Amino acid sequence: MEPLLISSKQNPRIKALLALQQKSSERRRSGLFVVEGQRELGHCIAAGYEVVEWYVCSSLLGAAGERLLSEAKAATAYELSPTLYEHIAYRGSTEGVVAVVKERPLDLNDLQMREAPLIVVLESVEKPGNLGAILRSADAAGADAVVVCDPLTDLYNPNLIRSSIGARFTVPTVACTSEECIAFLQERGIQILTAQLQDSHPYYDVDMRVGTAIVMGTESTGLTEQWRRAATAHIRIPMLGRLDSLNVSVSSAILVYEAVRQRRGIEN
């Protein structure tokens, strides 16, 4: 089927698309979200998400974009001019494709984990860019899941998806309460390592070869007391300069790669 042509910013479809991009309330109401860019959409489709609408600018697509669209033939496609595409696109280098996709939320019981899982837990993460960067590190380190407790950011926020470069779809990501996550980890015998300055050990002195959840808090306030009480051990990254903290995404990368280092030789 040939794409349907849209030429006006006032078209109801364009207004609906922008509402999904800009409003978490609209994403929650509709159960839909927006993915922009060929790389991100490739990961999204490979993960089994259903594309319901394509918005394309054919002059920007190229052969790779045409192949991508052929993988979701049932979706309705709309053709946009370069000017109108620029109006809806978050960035200019997205290769001419934006899609509306059905949400597919996971819960803790949906997670498929290896015998000694590695899980990143984030409490009340605030910035979509930080969460996106953490998902990239989790993907690179082969983490089993990222769990976002009491989230202050929408897991389908376009900024999160963009900053994750598609890792939002390659790493199982769950939102739940801290109480639910703590119970889940304890029931499965997964040790809880909380990153904090107080009463803590250097991270490299703690055994991460067993099932491990690395728990990070916000940069401004750290972890709440319920996580500190639930911890198997408290860990810290030594700070040798004048500052007392790192960006949460940087800290997460350091800690998950310590688990990778320790597990080297006992996994593939």
Q: Is the pTM here over 0.85, yes or no? A: yes
At residue 197, the pLDDT reads: 80
User: Tokens 């960006």 sit at which residue?
Assistant: 247
* CA 66 centroid distance within chain: 26
Residue 266 has pLDDT above 60, yes or no: no
CATH number of 108-263: 3.40.1280.10
At residue 218, the pLDDT reads: 79
Of the two residues 212 and 268, the one the predictor is more confident about is 212
At residue 245, the pLDDT reads: 79
Range scoring the smallest mean pLDDT among 20-34, 157-171, 173-187, 217-231 = 217-231
**Distance between CA atoms of residues 28 and 95, nearest Å:** 27
Q: How confident is the model at residue 93 (pLDDT cuts 50, 70, 90)?
A: low
User: Tokens 């969460």 sit at which residue?
Assistant: 131
At residue 176, the pLDDT reads: 95
Residue 167 has pLDDT above 50, yes or no: yes
Sequence-separated (6 or more) residues with CB below 8 Å from residue 122:
131, 134, 146, 147, 148, 149, 215, 216, 217, 248, 252
Q: How confident is the model at residue 72 (pLDDT cuts 50, 70, 90)?
A: low
Across 154-158, 186-190, 198-202, the highest mean pLDDT is recorded for: 186-190
Range scoring the smallest mean pLDDT among 55-64, 138-147, 201-210, 239-248 = 55-64
119-140 average pLDDT score: 94
At residue 73, the pLDDT reads: 61
What residue ranges of the chain are covered by domains with CATH 3.40.1280.10? 108-263
Task: Please write the tens of the pLDDT for every residue from 199-210.
Answer: 889 999 999 999
Range scoring the smallest mean pLDDT among 110-119, 153-162, 247-256, 259-268 = 259-268
Fold of the domain spanning 4-102: 60s Ribosomal Protein L30; Chain: A; (3.30.1330)
Please say whether the beta carbons of 194 and 165 come within 8 A. no
Residue 268 has pLDDT above 50, yes or no: no
Range scoring the smallest mean pLDDT among 61-70, 76-85, 112-121, 133-142 = 61-70
What residue ranges of the chain are covered by domains with CATH 3.30.1330.30? 4-102
